[in-house]
Amino acid sequence: MDNSNLSKIIKRYLSGRFPKETEERVQRWIIADKDTKEKEEASFEYWNELDTEINANTYSALKRVNQKIGYSERQTPHIPFYKKTLRIAAVLIPLLLITGGYLYYTQNKLIEITVAYGDTRHLFLPDSSEIWINSGSNIKYPKSFTGNQRLVYLEGEAYFSVKKDLAKPFSVKTEQLSVKVLGTKFNVKAYSDDENITTTLTNGKVEVSTQSREKQILKPNEQLTYNIKTSVMNIENISPAETDAWITGQILFINSSFQDIKQTLERRFNITIDDKTNIPVSRLYTVKFLKGETLDEILQVLKDVIGFTYQQQGTHIILNQ
């Protein structure tokens, strides 16, 4: 690509002037191996044109980036150093803080994306497979899929639409389970603070294996639940709507405990819930909320269905019997 055109694209991206539907394609182009040196030079050219002023918001953003990439701040920096650092931040922050998540390279060439509570993220992998990442989740994957497999690491929840490649199986690894596929659509939910890990298949076929090498094959519309404490696996049939409701912005609870409901709301709305009720763990609920329903609207419904009162103090919710 002509250097002047490449420079224009980089500058336009870093200044946030691409429409949302174009921005993701540009992100994938930026992290690709081709023209790496030219992209870097264009980024630094943009950096040198900046005259960033120091303010609380910029410093706060810089600190978040520094912590994420392992940069150690000087204890008593001089002003020229600070201006230089803030210019770097102005270039790095749009690349690292993308739509509510962090994107950075680790030493072993893995790209890591962390999606904050209250956000979701849609992206394409190097093989053009698609991932929808739910709030409070972390994904790691290589810059390019080399060798004889495509390996992705997940903590949290994500829905995958995998491009078929018989010669290179696609695998998702969580702390307790591995899910191996050739080409399919499936959902994996593996939050570190949940008692269960679930894998749900909507199309194709997947093989789920535990650390003890116990394996199960799933068919479409089957959900495997693995209990971390007991190491017991259970498979049941579910409807397709149960699998991808969160992708479309809905919140769907089917035979869910009150604990599951609270955890889902905390992740979805980036809140903390202080539960002072004595609602039995064994009691299960089924309820559906449509895209766009507010937290207050949801709590009003749950208040009537489950039986509690609540107070909201900013992002802190207190539940009482």
Per CATH, is 249-320 categorized as 3.55.50.30? yes
Q: Say if CB 126 and CB 143 are below 8 A apart.
A: yes
pLDDT at 233: 92
- 14-19: which pairs have CB atoms within 8 A and are 24 or more residues apart? 14/43, 14/46, 14/90, 14/91, 14/94, 14/95, 15/46, 16/94
pLDDT at 213: 77
pLDDT at 69: 41
Burial 182-191 (b: 16+ CB within 10 A, else e): bbbbbbbbbb
Tell me the domain boundaries of the chain.
Answer: 3-98, 105-243, 249-320
Report pLDDT digits (tens) over 174-227. Answer: 989 999 987 799 999 999 989 999 999 999 999 999 888 789 999 999 999 999
pLDDT at 80: 46
Q: What does the CA dihedral 302, 303, 309, 313 come to, rounded to 10 degrees?
A: 40
Taking the CA atoms of 222, 248, 157 and 254 in sequence, report the sign of the dihedral they define.
negative
Tell which phi-psi region holds residue 83, choosing left (phi > 0), alpha (psi between -120 and 50) or beta. alpha
pLDDT at 99: 39
The backbone torsions φ and ψ at residue 192, rounded to the nearest 5 degrees and listed phi first, read -65, -25
Residues of the chain below pLDDT 50? 51-54, 58, 61-62, 64-100, 102, 104-108
pLDDT at 127: 92
Q: Say if CB 89 and CB 53 are below 8 A apart.
A: no
Supply the CATH classification number for the domain 105-243.
Answer: 2.60.120.1440
pLDDT at 65: 44
3-state helix, strand, coil in the chain (%, to 5): 30, 35, 35
Residue that the structure tokens 């309820």 belong to: 287
pLDDT at 107: 44
Distance CA 47, CA 55 (A): 18
Tokens read off for 70: 């392992």
- The model's pTM is 0.66
Tokens read off for 248: 């479309």
In this structure, the number of other CB atoms found within 10 A of the CB of residue 62 comes to 22
**Continuous H helices in 176-294:** 240-244, 258-269
